[in-house]
Structure 1
Amino acid sequence: MTSELAPERRTPWLGAVAVFLMAMIPLVGYLAPLGFAPLLALTGLLVTPTLARARPPMLPIFVLLPLLAWALISLHWSPAAPHLADLKKDKALGAFTAFKLALELGFYGAAVAALGTLSRRSARRAGAVMIVAAAALALITALDGALQAKIFQALRRASHDPIRPDLAMVKVSMGAYPLALLLWPCARILDAWRVRGRTIIIAAMAVLTIAGAHFTGADAPIAALLAGGLVWLGVRLIGKPVARALIPIVAVPFIFAPMVVLWSVRSGFIAWLHVLAPPSWDARLNIWAFAANETVQHPLRGWGIDASRMFGNAIPLHTHDAAIQLWLELGSIGAALAGAFFAWLAYRVVGLTGEDRRDGAMAAATLVAYLTIGGISFGVWQEWWIALGALAAIACGVAQKSSASPR
C-alpha cells in the first residue's frame, strides 16, 4: 500500500517579500545600515496578514514578552523616562525606547514567524538572492574599505550631503556586521546545493568580510567570525555535546557579567589590560568598570531602561556590552530574562543539531556571532541591531528550508 505525499503549500506572497528583503541587503547594508530597522518593520507589516492563515509558531515572541513588560515597568524609576507632556513631540516619541521595543517585537516577530513558513520553492529563491546580495555587500565593503571610503564619500557628495572621511569609514564598516551573521546561512545553502566551487566562494566571502572590517577598523565582525567559526566547526564535527555546551556558555555572561568586571578591577586584572589595550578597548574597559560599579546601587531592579544615557561622559550612549547594559538598566531580573531567551535559542540549536548537524552548526555559529558583536559593540536597544537579529533568524530559516529534502 503506497501513500502520496501531499503537495507543498505554495507561498508566492511570502516568497516575494523574502526575495525583496534579501535583495535590499547590499543597498541598505552599504548606504544606510540603520535602515535595517524600517526594512524589517516593513517586512513584518507586509507579512502580518498571512499569520492568521499560516499559524506559525509564536513561542519566541512570548518568551520576550516578560522582558518587554519589565522594561516598561522600569520606566517608573528610570531617570531617562520621557515626560508624558513631551511625548507629543516627534523627537521625544522617537526616544521612547520602551515604546519602540513593543513595535519592534510586533513587526520583527511577525517577519520572523511568517517567513518561517515559506515553502521550499520560495525559500530556494530567497536563498539564491541572499547569497548574491551578501557577496555583493562583502565585495563593496572590502573595496571601499581599501579605498578609505572614497566611493561612499563620492556618493554622498553627489547627493549634496557630504560627510567627513572618518565618519565615512565608520559608515562603510557597518556593512561588515550583517555579513558576519549571514555568512553561515549562505554557507549552508551553498553546501546543500553542492554549488561548484562552493568552498572557494565561502572562503572568498569570509576573507572579504574580514578585509572590509580590517580596513575600516571594525574589530567586532572579525571576532564574531572567529568565534562563530570555532563553534561551527565543533558542532559540525562533534555534534550535540558541543551544542549542549553552548547553553551555559550563552547564559553565563548574563548572570555574572558585572561580578566578573568588579573582580577584575579589584584584582588588578583590568589595570593590567589597560596597559595592553588600544584606545578603543581602553575606553570599553573604563565603561565596563564604571557600569559594573553603578550596578551595585540597584542590583535587583536596575536604574531603569535607557539610564545608561544619564551618566554623562562615563558612559557615552551605552555600555558596549549587552549583558552589562541589561544589568545596569534592568537589574538582575532583566538580565535573567534576556539570558533565558538566548539560552532557549541555544537549546533549540541542540534540537536542530539532532536533526541535521549542518543546520545546527549554522544556527550555533550565527547565534555566537550575534552575541559576540553584542558583547563588545552596540547598545542592546539599538533598533537596527535588533533588526539584524531578526534578519539572521530569517536567513537561518531560509537556509534550513531551502536545504531540506523534498520529504
Structure 2
Amino acid sequence: MTTGLAGGASRDRLGVWCGWVLIAVCAATPLFAWLAPKGFAALVALGGLLTLPAIRIEDDDRPGLIVLFAALIWAAVSTIWSPFHPSRPDNNTILKLAAQLPLYWSLISGARRADPRLQRLALAVLAWGLTAFAVILIAETITGGALYQHLRNVAYAPMRQDIAEAKLGHATFVMTALLPLVVLGGPRRLRPGMGLVMVVGAGSAALAFGSDAPVIALVVAPLVALAVWRWPSVAPKLIAVAAAALWLGAPAVVWAVRHFTDYAALQRAVPQSYAMRLGYWSHAIDWIRLHPLRGWGLDASRMFAPGIDLHPHNGSLQVWLELGGVGAIAAAAFWAVTLLRLSRPRGDLAVAAAAACAAVYLVFGFINFGIWQDWWVALGALIVVLAGLHQPSTSPRLSE
C-alpha cells in the first residue's frame, strides 16, 4: 500500500497543512526575535487561526486548561473593581486573553497533529534559523548593533544607540527561552556545535547590551535539563513544588527581606535597574496587604505610579496585586500541573529540554516582564508548541 508523505497527504490533509503552518512559524521566528519581538503575538495568533481545525483537548490537557479557564473567568470578574479602564481594544487585556487562549491552544494542537516528517522539518528550520541569528548576534556584539541600526534606519527612522542596544538585548531573551528545545531539533551530529553557537551569540549579546537575565538563564537551563535527565521522576516534581511555592510565597519573601535586612542599604548596593525593582516590590506588598484575597483588579498595576511603573516586574507579585490570592492559587496550580506532567520513569531529552525552557521562562517572569504582555504570553505558547513538535504526532497512521 502507498506510504510516505504523499500517501499520508491523501489520508491526512490536516496533518500536512498543520505541518506547513508550523514550518512557516518556525521560519519566521528568528526574524521576529531579531527585528520585532513584540510581533510574536501576531505570529502565534495567526498560526493558531490557520490550525483551528486541529484543535483538540486530550485527557491529560484538561486539568491545566480548566485552571486557565477558571483564571480567565476570575480575571474578567476582577475588571469590575479594577481602577484601570481600557480605552481601546489593543489595551483591553481581558479581551486579548480571551482570544489568545483558544488561538494559542489551536497552534499547540496543530503541532501535535502535524505530519511527523513536517514536525522534524519545522524543528530543523528553526534550529538552523536561530543558529544563523546567533551568528548575527555575535556580529552585532562586535559592531555595537550596527546592522540592526542600519536596517531600522532604512525601514523606519534613525534610532538612538541606547534604544537599539536595548532592543538587541531584548532579542536575547527570546533566544535563551527557546534554546534548549531548539538545539534538540537540529541534526543529531550538529547539535553540540549549534548549541555552542547559540550560547555564544546569546551570551555575548546579553553581556554587551546589558541584559542580565539571559546570562542567568544560560546557567539555569543546563542545570535544570541535567537534573530532569538524571532524575526524570523526582526532579520535575521538585521543580513543580518550587514553582508553586514561588507563586504563592513571593509577597512573604519580599516582606521577610524588608523586615529582617536593611532594605534601603540593599537598594543602594545593587545596580539601578534592580534597585528600582526592589522599590516596586516593596510598594507591591504594601498594596497587596490591603486586598489580599480579591486583588485590585486586572491591570490595576498600571495605576500605581510612581510607586510602580506599569507592573511590578515580578509575575507573582503582579498576580497577587491584581488578582489576589485567588489568582495566585490559580497560577500556582497551573504551573504545578504543567510541570508534574513532565515526570517520567526514564530520562527523555525532549522532556529535559522542555523543563529547561519552562525554568527559564519562570526566571524571566519573576524579574523582568509584565505577565500580560502580548509578546510574552505568545513566547510561552511558542515554547509549548516546540514541546509539542517533539512529541509523537497524533496524525492518523496508514495501515498496511
Give the structure-2-normalised TM-score: 0.91
Give 1:303's aligned amino acid: W
Deviation larger for 330-339 or 274-283: 274-283
CA contact (8 A) 2:176 2:202 kept: yes
Distance 2:144 2:161 in 1: 8
Match of 1:16 among 11, 20, 25: 20
1:335-394 per-residue CA deviation (whole Å, 9 max, x = no partner) reads 1101111111110111xx335432221121011011011111000000000000011111
Q: Percent identity?
A: 35
> How far off its partner does 1:55 sit?
6.3
Decide which moves more: 123-132 or 54-63: 54-63
Partner of 1:50: 54
Cα distance in 2 for residues equivalent to 1:332 and 1:220: 27
Give the counterpart of 1:194 among 185, 188, 191.
Answer: 188
Give the aligned residue type for 2:40: F
CA deviation after TM superposition for structure 1 residue 163, in Å: 1.5
The AA in structure 1 aligned to 2:171 is: G
Deviation string, structure 1 residues 270-328 (Cα, Å, up to 9, x no partner):
34432431111111111111111110010000011111110112111111110000000
Contact 1:37 1:384 in 2 (8 A): yes
Equivalent AA in structure 2 for residue 292 of structure 1: I
Partner of 2:36: 32
Residue 204 of structure 1 and its aligned partner are, at CA, apart by 2.1
Structure 1 segment 141-152 matched on structure 2, within 5 A: 141-152=137-148
**Correspondences of 1:2-401 after superposition (within 5 Å):** 10=12, 11-51=15-55, 59=62, 60-82=64-86, 86=87, 92-190=88-186, 193-195=187-189, 197-268=190-261, 270-350=263-343, 353-354=344-345, 356-401=347-392
Task: String of CA shifts for 1:63-121, please: whole Å, max 9, x gaps.
Answer: 31011101000011100033xxx5xxxxx221111111101112112111222222321
CA distance 1:15–1:56, change in 2 (3 Å):
farther
> Does the 8 Å contact 1:173/1:212 carry over to 2?
yes
Greater shift after overlay, 9-18 or 22-31?
9-18
Aligned-partner Cα distance in 1 for 2:132–2:384: 20
Q: What corresponds to 1:89 in structure 2?
A: none
Structure 1 distance, partners of 2:71, 2:142, is 41
* Counterpart in the other structure of 1:3: none
**Which amino acid letter does the alignment assign opposite residue 288 of structure 1?**
W
2:149–2:164 CA contact under 8 A, matched in 1: yes
RMSD: 2.1
Is the 1:141–1:175 Cα contact (8 Å) retained in structure 2?
Answer: no
What amino acid maps onto 2:154 in structure 1?
A
> What does the per-residue CA deviation read over 1:185-240, in whole Å, with 9 as the maximum and x for residues that have no partner?
123234xx532x43232122112111111111111112222212211111122322
Deviation by residue 1:129-179 (Cα, 9 ceiling, x = unmatched): 010111122222332133222211111211242211111111111211121
> Structure 2 counterpart of 1:347, which letter?
L
Residue type at the aligned position of 1:44: G
SS in 1 for 2:257: helix
Residues 56 and 114, structure 1, Cα contact 8 Å, conserved in 2:
no
CA contact (8 A) 2:134 2:197 kept: no
Name the TM-score, length of structure 1 as normaliser: 0.89
Give the Cα separation in 1 of the matches to 2:40 and 2:151: 20
Amino acid at match of 1:178: V
Q: How many pairs are equivalent?
A: 384
Gaps of 5+ in 2: 1-6
Aligned residues of 2:184 and 2:191 also touching (Cα < 8 A)? no
CA distance in 2, matches of 1:219, 1:327: 25
Residue range with higher mean Cα deviation, 134-143 or 38-47: 134-143
In structure 1, what is the Cα distance between the partners aligned to 2:384 and 2:26? 13
Contact 1:299–1:332 under 8 Å retained in 2:
yes
Task: From the superposition, tell whether residues 269 and 48 of structure 1 become closer, same or farther in structure 2 (CA, over 3 Å).
Answer: farther
